[in-house]
Structure 1
Amino acid sequence: MDKKEFETNGQLNNNATPEETDASANTNEAPVEAETIPAAAEEAVPAAQEPVEPANNAAADVTPEAVPVMSKVGGGNTPPSSPKGGKGWMIASIVLAAALIIVLIKPPFQKDDNSVAVATVNGTDITKAQLYDKLVEAGGESTLQNLITTTLVDQEAKKANITVTDEDINAEIEDLKTQFGGEDALNSALAQSSMTLDDLKAQMPLQVEIRKLLEPKVTVTDEDVTTYFNDNKATFNQEEEVQASHILVATKEEADAIVKQLKEGADFAALAQEKSSDTGSKDKGGDLGFFKKGDMVTEFSDAAFALKVGETSGAVKSDYGYHVIKVTDRKEAHEYTLEEKKDEIKKTLISQKVSEMSSTWLQDLTTNAKITNTLTDEPEASATPEATEAPAAE
């Protein structure tokens, strides 16, 4: 869909009578602070783990919010290659986490415990042994491999005296929100894997340990930073943006009545929740977040960018009805310099290299470890103690 077209919203009234647009500014009100967050793209992930594809790709798979006046493109100023160096790889275990959440009962059971009933159906017992067998069939191998990987990484972290604090977890979550384009976008990506933010936090210690173990092995030079900046310079430029809320109604009479109520002191957010037909924004008081001029249909964009922070428009006509728009914040256009972006780029490149290294590092760690896996090992591969003893010296 063209970014200037309206997104489909079956609940909107599309039969309003065409009339002249009245976008005159009226009410001055205090601005509401907000911050734009860049979106992320597909990430690299460690070996033996299933990725969830964030931001640009994830956004395409999630049902978009019904915002009829906009179709956000990109959602931020992060260069296309930047997300690959972000923290998206840190949720590499997202898909397997569903199996981890339904944790396997500690195998093996005690011999006298196998027949203990975990459920009874009309007098017929379902035993622990039956449950364990089914859980193994459902995802036992992948879950056990995940636990093996976690144990290996924990052992390496302990050797390196690495610890994971609540502050570490919260910092990683905040970085992920930034990479995905905000908390809502991250939650949408998590929901695709039947996870919540709390589930993700439970998986984070492993990812933080990997980062702390690998970052010291990474080198990023000033030349690397300069090259990255020059290659992506245009994408660092900040276009002018405004943050606005709107109330969408079917007729000009309704819009004019809302404008009158606002002049008399009514609360914009409350009116949006009560009267707006835009299901994507009404529950947020009509808030659409930050957007660039090209993100909106022409009529809406022209009216919004003509307003000052705190001002409210009159009735603005579009193909989907009439909008009353309130601008709550503004970001002026800005062309960033290398010095301004140096730290951000270095952090991005370090994360990118950690992401690239993690797969090989985990594979080597697994290869060099002594691991017994009763779910996958062939019985004949298990050597007896006598077979592993060295011959007696003559």
Structure 2
Amino acid sequence: MKTYSGTARTEKFEGRARFAGAARGLGVTLLAGGAMLFAAGCDQKPSADVVASVNGKPIMRAEMEKGYVAYSAQVAQQQQQQVQLSNEQADLGRLKVLDNLITNEIVEQRAAKMNLTATNEEVDAKLTEMKAPVTEDQFQQHLKAENLTLDDLKHDIRRSLTGNKLLNKEINSKITVSDADVSSYYNQHKAEYNLIEPQYRLAQIQVTGVPSDQAGNLQGSKATNDSEAKRKIQALKTRLDSGEDFGTLAMNFSERVETASSGGDMGFVTESQLHADPMIYAEITRLKPGQTTAIMPLLDAQTKKAMGYSIYKLVSKEPAGQRDLSDPIVQQAIRQQLQNDRSQLLKNAYFEMLRDQAKIVNYFAENLFKNATK
């Protein structure tokens, strides 16, 4: 489960302008695939424009459809190709979007009762933070690429900030991880901190010639064919060689949605994983931390044909061997793991409690079921 949001990807921004997170009610949600909850038998049939209600407050079809557009674009981007969904797959996507919208509404109502709704000042401050890395023209271009108005974005920012304030108040502020907890976890999982082979922390800038509705980067920059992809990756390589920051270029131009918003960070990759592509292995293992590779072809896993291009950066390298508990990195990793695990558990329980207390009617789900069983 990810942080409360409005995106396919609205996450906690943490100082980065992560616009792609603004598509409402998707990927980054309160509940990952939470069970649909709907009630039948409403006395008064609602307007066709209403797809659900939470404690009497309607959720409109237009909001669900807007979220669905972002959902389908995200599916296409993840598969790196245009995807024609069947009617059943499309409606399943709408159910997921609506379920997230329902959860968002429940949380917003709870936060309002506790006077935790984000203020206009907080929203404006976050918006300023998001706009800082780009020009006004780039900002407007990105809004257009994401099919968002400024009011849409502010709405999603308010929703995200409000959810975070509620979670911090109700959950995160009540979680403690002691030194004894860290020591106990280490002793029970000591083998996990014995690296049997070297690991490489990598970052990546990726460009493909596969058309997509969304680029996944701050600039909304997307190559649409192989020729454009070659020109784009070569231009980025030239900028890297001239000293520009890898992370900034990745956020603004990389087309890999999973890593672009974090500056291309791929996390740690084991040496055996690198061996799967001898060319990449040879390039990565010759680097020193901070250096980048030449332009590398991105091969299709099945056809082995080039479908794009990548540039990798070696962030750091961890040698094989046992990591001691005295290592600050180990301590921090364990503490964060325990914090995340406890937060995840309490969030799931908390959101289920809120759903149990709410009166939810999912008209869209009811109609789907009735029409399918006629």
Larger Rg over CA atoms: 1
Query: With structure 1 as the length reference, what TM-score do the two structures score?
Result: 0.36
Q: Point out which structure has higher relative CO (alpha carbons under 8 A, 6+ apart).
A: 1
